[in-house]
Amino acid sequence: MSRLARILPGSLSVLLFFAAWEGYCRYSGISPLILPAPSGIGVAFAELVQERATWRHFGVTLGETLAGFFIATVTGVALGGIIARSPLLERAFHPFVVASQVVPKVALVPLFVLWFGFGPTSKVVVSAVIAFFPVLTNTILGLRSIDGGHEDVFRAARARPLQRFRMLDLPSALPAILAGMEMAVVLATIGAVVGEYLGGNAGLGYLAVATMNAFQTDRLFAIVLLLTAMGFALFAAMASLRRLLIPWHRSAERH
């Protein structure tokens, strides 16, 4: 009953939203070119997923997203670990980290396309750059939130650096790192799609632009729906990873 109580309000709100959308499209006289009804989008979605080309574009976008996410995670955790242990390095890297977030990423896409071409490499770079910051900041936060008493115990026991990392640093910082990775996987998806919008020749973002130019609005909504499903799946995978790696943490209970 408690599980039903958690699921029911959200399910009802979604059903009411789509019912209102369907009713508005049917009785307001709005053109399907401007706003198609959910029923029409459902038909277009069913047709979309039956096409082999769709899954080829899907694979391109998914590969770019995962590659960008992996690069952002490895780089963010490594650099965050170094910065968290060295105030001098933090002061040295701080201007570059802030600049990487202040500069609009969309404005850099043409430059990345110029440097890396219209292929997947430029999209991976955009994806990694956008997803990098939350992993970095959460890694620093997690490592700096280690209990001082625990650090004193390991210091008194003369623990080796590898022992300290395996038994104290990583378990203590992992909840924060995983929270940053959950944000990063969503941002990596956005980065890959934005890169395909502005300079792509494959992927769901490219397919969406081609569909928009053909004035197939219902199909465009269907592509957005497929992208949403991909984002949900990646986020759910990260939530499952959280439950697997830190089942003892309170945040794992809420997922």
The ranges assigned to domains in the chain are 40-253
Does residue 197 sit in helix, strand or coil? helix
**Contact at 8 Å (CB) between 252 and 246?**
yes
- What pLDDT is recorded for position 73? 93
pLDDT in tens, 27-57: 888 888 888 989 999 999 999 999 899 999 9
Angle at CA of residue 229, ends 226 and 234, nearest 5° = 130
pLDDT band for position 2 (cuts 50, 70, 90)? low
Rounded average pLDDT over 142-161: 69
Instruction: Name the burial class of residue 91, with classes exposed (0-12), middle (13-18) and buried (19+) by CB atoms within 10 angstroms of its CB.
Output: exposed
pLDDT, residue 240, reads 85
Distance of CA 78 to the CA centre of its chain: 19
- Residue 59 in this model has a pLDDT that exceeds 90: yes
Asked whether the predicted pLDDT for residue 101 surpasses 80, the reply is no
Q: Cα–Cα distances in Å, from 21 out to 185, 194, 237, 246?
A: 30, 27, 30, 40
- Which band of pLDDT confidence, cut at 50, 70 and 90, is reported for residue 229? very high
pLDDT of residue 67: 95
Give kind and range of the element (H or E) at residue 47: helix 38-49
Q: How confident is the model at residue 154 (pLDDT cuts 50, 70, 90)?
A: low
Give yes or no for a contact between 61 and 230, defined as CB atoms under 8 angstroms apart: yes
pLDDT at res. 195: 87
Per-residue pLDDT at 224: 93
Q: Which helix (H) or strand (E) holds 5?
A: helix 2-27
**pLDDT score of 99:** 75
The mean pLDDT value of the chain amounts to 83
Q: Which of 118-132, 167-181, 198-212, 228-242 has the lowest mean pLDDT?
A: 167-181
- Category of 158 on φ-ψ map: left (φ > 0), alpha (ψ -120 to 50) or beta: left
Structure tokens at 64: 């770019």
Q: Has residue 163 got a pLDDT over 90?
A: no
- In this predicted structure, the answer to whether residue 71 has a pLDDT above a threshold of 90 is yes
- Section 57-78 average pLDDT: 93
Q: Is the pLDDT of residue 200 over 80?
A: no
pTM: 0.83
| CA 239/CA 237 separation, integer angstroms | 5
pLDDT for residue 230: 93
The confidence band for 102, taking pLDDT boundaries of 50, 70 and 90, is: confident
State yes or no: pLDDT of 202 exceeds 80. Answer: yes
Distance CA 203, CA 240 (A): 26
Going by C-alpha positions, the residue among 231, 239, 197, 219 that lies closest to residue 62 is 231
Q: pLDDT band for position 13 (50/70/90)? A: confident
Percent of the chain topping pLDDT 70:
85
Residue 208 scores a pLDDT above 80:
yes
Q: Assess if CATH 1.10.3720.10 describes domain 40-253.
A: yes
Which of 18-32, 59-73, 115-129, 161-175 has maximum average pLDDT?
Answer: 59-73
Residues in the chain: 255
- The Cα–Cα gap between 189 and 54 comes to 17
